[in-house]
Amino acid sequence: MNSSTWLHDNDRVAYESALRGDLGNLKRSIEKLGDNNFYDIHYAISEAVFERVGEAIPVMLEVLGENIDNEIGQNVAYELGEIAYRQKFQQDPRIVPGLLRVFEKMEQVGRLDRLWTVLGAIGECVRYESKPEAQAAAERAIEYFVRDRSLDDDTLTYALETYLVNQGWRKTLALRERLAQEPEPEILLEEFDNFLEEHSHVEPGYEPGDLTRTARAEVDFAARQAKDVV
């Protein structure tokens, strides 16, 4: 069913505006994702973006790079993560490299306080599979948090998502032991343990090559569907 059939009138205008027209029009629609006062319109635009995903991704990365310090960039990063999540095992190969370029831009201009926005999107990308190309960024983000505890807690949590899926449970626990040697490690360890207990995409004992929770659920669902067809 086309998404516009169940959208309210005002939302449908936003949806159809994003769905049709040239890339300039699409960019203007994407920039409206930063307006949190209109959640339904935000959702309508995101649905249209997903239907134009091939065209939308480079535009979204451009908008993100132009808005690293505001809610437009924050919401566009979220949508890029959502696209990767919805694409499951066939994620667009432009998403993670594009997010990493924005991560590096944030480092260059000293906006470490905004790294969590990009790390969160990469965290959605690793729900189905590891992303070794993002490992160095995850490790740098962890070190930034260690040196500056005023950074958003999500900086550590989202970086750990990528670290754990890429490196596995054993190396992640070794990282915890290293962090325990830092001065005043209580906050670090509290966040670390909370992540392991409640927010991880993987099961205890996971190692690279294993399926994440999300990937296993998808594989099991596909197997049940195939069985039902037979």
DSSP notation for 60-125: HHHHHHH-TTSHHHHHHHHHHHHHHHHHTTS--TTHHHHHHHHHHHHHHTT-GGGHHHHHHHHHHH
pTM for the full model? 0.87
pLDDT in tens, 186-210: 989 999 999 988 777 898 899 998 9
Residue ranges of domains in the chain:
52-229
> Which amino acid is present at 28?
R
Q: Is the pLDDT of residue 227 over 90?
A: no
- pLDDT of 200: 75
Measured CA to CA, the distance from residue 140 to residue 138 in angstroms comes to 5
Neighbours of 105 (CB within 10 A): 15
